Amino acid sequence: MSCVMSEEQAMSEGTQGAGPEVDRLIEEGMAGRLRPGTEAFERFIDLTARRPGGTRMVAHYRDPRDHQESFEIALRALRLTPRDRYLEIGFGGGQLLEMALRTVRSAAGIDHSPDMLALASERNTAAIVAGRLQLVYGDVHRLPWPDDEFTCAAAVNMFFFVTSPEVCLGELHRVLRPRGRLVIVTVAPGPDPNAHGPWSPALRAYPAEVMEAMLRRAGFGKVRVEEPGGDRQVCRAVAS
């Protein structure tokens, strides 16, 4: 197993978040002064959350304490065992992968940020060298693994950026073995359109019944969608 760049330009793209111009853009975005739908707003979303890049964001995602509770929720829901082969889509800085690898026999992950791929590889170098972890640069709508490859999978704090959720869920179902477990931790829709700060206009949040229907259409059973408060949604499902 290895760290795989599926596009030659991936590493050069990883420098997108450097320089004073980018710092100003991030400051404008954090202050809520960028209009949703504009090129500047979309770049702000990419640089800070959807496809994090640059020194400033690498430093943040090296220790994303604001994600820790979601990681712990996902691990409790997955109930990992030493027999598991684990998949994570949108792995960011690789902290949850590192946590999962303390239990599972092997793992793999996919992300479309070159800087996050580099960061997660640095964090999990020992597992990569030992052949227990494969990290791939790519698209969650086209997973590069064969059918029935994994026993469990997770998508944590990233599903709200997936542009074609049913395609992504179909791919997750395809690569999971029968009775494979899936956990998604994402945002729940709520009455406050600005609940997630300057990122709010870019987030896709689905009512519980919509998430359940999408999971069932993708082939999952034993679907549970819960919203335990704090505008968080936790989805559990088992591949049929």
Q: Where are the domains of the chain?
A: 15-62, 65-239
Cβ–Cβ < 8 Å for 124, 135: yes
Convert the pLDDT of each residue in 91-129 to its tens digit: 999 999 999 999 999 999 999 999 999 999 999 999 999
Higher-confidence residue of 12 and 76: namely 76
65-239 under CATH 3.40.50.150, yes or no: yes
Strand 133-137 with 106-111, pairing: parallel
pTM of the model: 0.92
Dist. CA 223–CA 239, nearest whole Å: 10
Residues in the chain: 240
CA dihedral 190, 154, 111, 200 (to 10 degrees): 10
Q: What three-state secondary structure class fits 228?
A: strand
Convert the pLDDT of each residue in 32-76 to its tens digit: 999 999 999 999 999 999 999 999 999 999 988 899 999 999 999
Dist. CA 150–CA 143, nearest whole Å: 12
Residue 27: count of CB within 10 angstroms of its CB: 11
pLDDT of the residue at 18: 60
Sign of the dihedral defined by the CA atoms of residues 188, 193, 198, 202, in that order: positive
Token pair belonging to 95:
């902290």
Q: CA neighbours within 13 Å on the CB side: how many for 25?
A: 21
